[in-house]
Amino acid sequence: MSEITSLSLFELIKNIKEKKISSNEVAKSFIDRSEKSKKLNAYVTENFENCLKLSKDFDNKPNFDLKLPGIPIAVKDLFCTNEVRTTAGSNILNNFVPSYESTVTQNIWNEGGILLGKLNCDEFAMGSSNETSFFGNVQNPIAKDLVPGGSSGGSSSALAASLTPVTIGTDTGGSIRQPASFTGTVGLKPTYGSCSRYGIVAFASSLDQAGPMSKDVKDSSILLEVISSFDKKDSTSIDFKRNNYSSDLTRNIKGIKIGIPKEYRVDGMPDEIESLWKKGIEYAKDCGAEIIDISLPHSSYALPTYYIVAPAEASSNLARYDGVKYGLRSSGESLIDMYEKTRSEGFGEEVKRRIMIGTYVLSSGYYDAYYLKAQKVRQLIKQDFDQAYNKVDAILTPSTPSSAFKIGEKSNDPVSMYLNDIFTVPVNLAGLPGISIPAGTDKNNYPLGLQIIGKPFDEQTVLNIAYSMEEKINYKNNITDWWMQ
């Protein structure tokens, strides 16, 4: 048998069920590899000892009917985990130990998953390169000093480096799909309302969604099946009939109509992205899909809309960090002074910038000009997709306008950093499901991804298209373990 850490989730489950390997052996293998991979800085908090103990408990009393029988899984440090430190990548939550569990992670433990550790991310998930984390940069296992994408950068790094078999991230404007694209892995953002937001540190509540990240499409379907659930504790959780995503997975997509939006041919897009997209269209045709040109006329307004809506919601959500009930407190002469110093010392630059933008666009006299305007444009963006879906079943685009960039390359220019999310943000604004799958490499051999966007609640079609294209593309990551030398 090949090395345990290189097995897919599907293969691990199969081997555990057939008693060829034990949960404890699996846990040991991933922990051993994680220990040798500290240079990647993927973990914020390790849960290794506890993981070993729980894996032994599983082996002593195995339940092979579970969907994730004794599988160790590391998760983004944005999910609250009971009695395990949860930082959201921020100094203000450096010592925060939740006394409750997020629904999404609880669903994983209920199906036999075991917490391996908490993974680095941009502070409060605000970033596209993992450079805003209080706990430092994360290395992309693809090459030295390359960003792993963000905000789920610790997740994408740990996954691509085989420190965890699968992982979960959160996606507000592309934070699952962009890091997946940068690391040659698969990342799925489900429909808004599919996965509960309960216990996820809030960034922008009308956009935030949790989703699976994995090495192949089948693994994402297994994990989505576990984490997607209706939850009374989340007021925007939606009660709809969920598929058995993994058993319903099929490569038969004959006759499926896939739209190609002309507005995604943006100015200055590198030729390699354009040619990747063209190749993707050919692969989709080979799989039996019908390709149809479509128009999403308001696409170019998505990013400006996002940079009003998301900071506005963030400024409101982050008002709770006041140094009183939990988190960091700085000393001040008065209550107000304490608030101001706590928030100044507790938040990093990008988070402060977004709180300031959000406070400004919500402030008296500016609300209509910015926030209301953005909500109206958001309606137009959603209507674009509604109209497109009268003609097609799904939409194919590049995931990102470039491959992974170097650490430090874009950190001084917020707008150029924001442009990373140009193809992913519209999907969040319209609440749709979207997946990024690895589809090729650029001239440096860095991975590039393609995005498949679906109709609301139609994760199955998105997965099926991804599953059949994946077989044709036959992408393999070339990970050299350079960080271990």
Partner 1 sequence: MTIDLKTVKHISKLARISLEEKKAEKLADDMNSIFEFIEKLNELKTENVEPLTSIAETTLRFREDKITSNNIREKILKNSPEKNDDFFVVPKVVE
Residues at the site binding partner 1, with contacts judged by CB under 8 A: 95-97, 99, 192-193, 206, 232, 235-236, 238, 298, 300-301, 303-305, 307-308, 315, 319, 322-329, 332-341, 343-344, 347, 352-353, 355-357, 359-360, 363, 370, 372-380, 382, 414-415, 418, 430-431
What are 260's strand-pairing partners?
A: 293
Min dist CB 205 to partner 1, Å, is: 9
Min dist CB 400 to partner 1, Å, is: 18
> Mind giving me the DSSP string for 168-188?
EEEESSSTTHHHHHHHT-EEE
Marked catalytic residue, from 23, 129, 151, 436: 151
Question: Quick one: which H or E segment has residue 474?
Answer: none
Name which of 151 and 468 has its Cβ closer to partner 1.
151
Min dist CB 375 to partner 1, Å, is: 4
> Mind giving me the DSSP string for 355-416?
HHHHHHHHSTTTTIIIIIHHHHHHHHHHHHHHHHTTT-SEEEEES-SS---BTTSSTT-HHH
Q: Closest Cα to residue 174, out of 272, 355, 306?
A: 306
Round to whole Å and give the CA distance between 432 and 370.
Answer: 24
Task: Tell me, yes or no, if 151 is annotated catalytic.
Answer: yes
Name which of 70 and 434 has its Cβ closer to partner 1.
434
Name which of 286 and 337 has its Cβ closer to partner 1.
337
Min dist CB 449 to partner 1, Å, is: 24
Structure token digits, residue 477:
């990551």
Contact status, residue 159 vs residue 215, Cβ threshold 8 Å: yes
Q: Which residues contact 262 (CB under 8 A, 6 or more apart)?
A: 293, 294, 295
Name which of 169 and 431 has its Cβ closer to partner 1.
431
Task: Tell me, yes or no, if 6 is annotated catalytic.
Answer: no
Marked catalytic residue, from 175, 221, 237, 315: 175
Q: Which residues contact 94 (CB under 8 A, 6 or more apart)?
A: 87, 134, 327, 328
Name which of 173 and 184 has its Cβ closer to partner 1.
173
Task: Tell me, yes or no, if 189 is annotated catalytic.
Answer: no
Round to whole Å and give the CA distance between 403 and 420.
Answer: 10
Marked catalytic residue, from 23, 76, 156, 411: 76
Min dist CB 362 to partner 1, Å, is: 9
Round to whole Å and give the CA distance between 439 and 6.
Answer: 20
Name which of 1 and 336 has its Cβ closer to partner 1.
336
Min dist CB 139 to partner 1, Å, is: 27
Active-site annotation, residues: 76, 151, 175
